[in-house]
Structure 1
Amino acid sequence: MLNADQNELDKFSQLAHRWWDPNSEFKPLHDINPLRLAWIDSHAGISGKTILDVGCGGGILSESMAQRGATVTGIDLSDKALGVAKLHLLESGNKVDYQKSSAEEFSDRTPACYDVVTCMEMLEHVPNPASIVSACSVLVKPGGHVFFSTINRNAKAYLLAVVGAEYILKMLPKGTHDYAKFIKPSELSRWAKSALLEPDELIGMTFNPLNQRYSLGHDTDVNYLLHTKKTS
């Protein structure tokens, strides 16, 4: 059975044409991308590396990694998002190999092929996130880096990521997130260790509504990122 929620795919497919509009529903992705890109680069030194971006969507992170000198492949299950990603390459001149595939299917075809694997803002949208974590481990080379980002599951996360972001500040469309699919850092770390991925750094990402800026820091109550390394 495909590890995907068709309602989630349909939801993002309907918005795909707005992926590269920095003032659209995807504005938060544009705003956080410099932060997550710099954080990934600080750990993995991505120039010259082979990178797989799992759940690449319209390619915001994929293209930025390619701009820094990486050889990037992006996979997703949304035809419309991939179509937008490919069209944007014509405008930007960047090079990314976009393919329609699940993480699990791609891991069967290309095990241990990548220096770096990224899976950002995706785990909270799939039925079986632990399976995605396991597939990412299969895809990365021994000693390679795997990066995840997702949303914590607690009352504060519900208030800020769902009520605040979707209903009060209207930063995201209503229904973007399902609180029941949020993931505690302890759960993600446990899945990673079970997949032979050793957690290295857990860091939070917060939003300041006063200056409209995101920052990385110690607060992992809502959004957080996890860097892991493949142990063998």
Structure 2
Amino acid sequence: MSETSNVDPAELAKFSDLAHRWWDPESEFRPLHQINPLRLEWIHGLAPLAGQRVLDVGCGGGILSEAMARKGAQVLGIDLATKSLKVAQLHALEAQTRGVQYREVSAEALAAEQPGSFDVVTCMEMLEHVPDPASVVQACATLVKPGGWVFFSTINRNLKSFLFAIVGAEYLLNLLPRGTHEYARLIRPSELAAHCRGAGLELLHTRGMEYNPLTRRYWLSADTSVNYLLATRKLPAA
């Protein structure tokens, strides 16, 4: 797939229409605000961020990008949704967050431009929104330095995830806007692991993320049946 074609205009439009609400913790993006401390500490615990050059692929409004910059990383957030990036840039200015920049560029295009340039690459809640997730995984592997960390998070594809992440989250609990996720685009951990191996990334850690709708609390666990995270490292060249 070419550098510019791995994008779904409908997906970009979906998030652009909500861009002004990215930083409202009670908006449609409330789940991202709630899970951000969990995923940030998991990343930081495995790959301490201070002084590292970090790339956040599919950064959206910059919730994770800013948080990693506040840990002392030099962060570049990339996305193809123009409005979301403008919101991210504006919020970084208003919050006076240093060490974070944003660019409107695809992971594939940046990989061709800056291979092996980053200590850590994150790609969170993004793979299920692109036509060719393997292409993004390969780009992330190209962008990270040998021995560097690449983190992914996405949603499993099975009956439970359909009931929890789509029917429950979008239609019953209204945690997310309806239509946020398409079942056919969800990715099994085995499929994502295969993409990683094919890109020269070694899978080191897997975590699941669970949610209790009564307490409105998220936590990390060993259960990867719905939301899950992978931590990988780029194998050194043979």
With the shorter chain as reference, the TM-score category is over 0.9
1:226 to 214, 227, 230: 230
Greater CA drift, 94-103 or 137-146: 94-103
Residue by residue over 1:163-184, the C-alpha shift from the partner in whole angstroms, topping out at 9 and shown as x without a partner, is: 0000000101110000000000
Secondary structure of 1:106's aligned partner: helix
**In the TM superposition, what whole-angstrom CA distance separates every residue of 1:140-197 from its partner, at most 9, and x where no partner exists?**
0000000000000000000000000000001011100000000000000000011000
Instruction: Provide the rounded CA distance (Å) in 1 between the counterparts of 2:123 and 2:42.
Output: 14
Indicate the residue corresponding to 1:207 in structure 2.
211
Deviation at 1:87, TM superposition (A): 0.5
Residue 132 (structure 2) pairs with residue 108 (structure 1): no
Which residue of structure 1 lines up, in the alignment, with residue 140 of structure 2? 136
Q: TM-score, normalised by structure 2?
A: 0.97
> How much does 1:209 deviate?
1.1
RMSD of aligned Cα (Å): 0.5
Gaps of 5+ in 2: none
Report runs of 4+ in structure 1 exceeding 2 Å deviation.
none
Q: Is 1:87–2:110 an aligned residue pair? A: no
User: 2:36 pairs with 33, 38, 43, which one?
Assistant: 33
Instruction: Map residues 97-176 of structure 1 onto 2, 5 A cutoff.
Output: 97-176=101-180
Cα distance in structure 1, aligned partners of 2:70 and 2:51: 11
1:108-137 C-alpha deviation (Å, 9 max, x unpaired) = 001000000000000000000000000000
Matched, 1:16 2:9: no
User: Identity across aligned pairs (percent)?
Assistant: 61
Deviation at 1:222, TM superposition (A): 0.2
> How many residues in Structure 1 have an aligned counterpart in Structure 2?
232
Which residue type is aligned with residue 50 of structure 1?
Answer: R
1:112 alignment partner AA: G
Please give the TM-score of this superposition, normalised by the length of structure 1. Answer: 0.99
SS of residue paired to 1:46: coil
- Residue 99 of structure 1 deviates from its aligned partner by 0.3
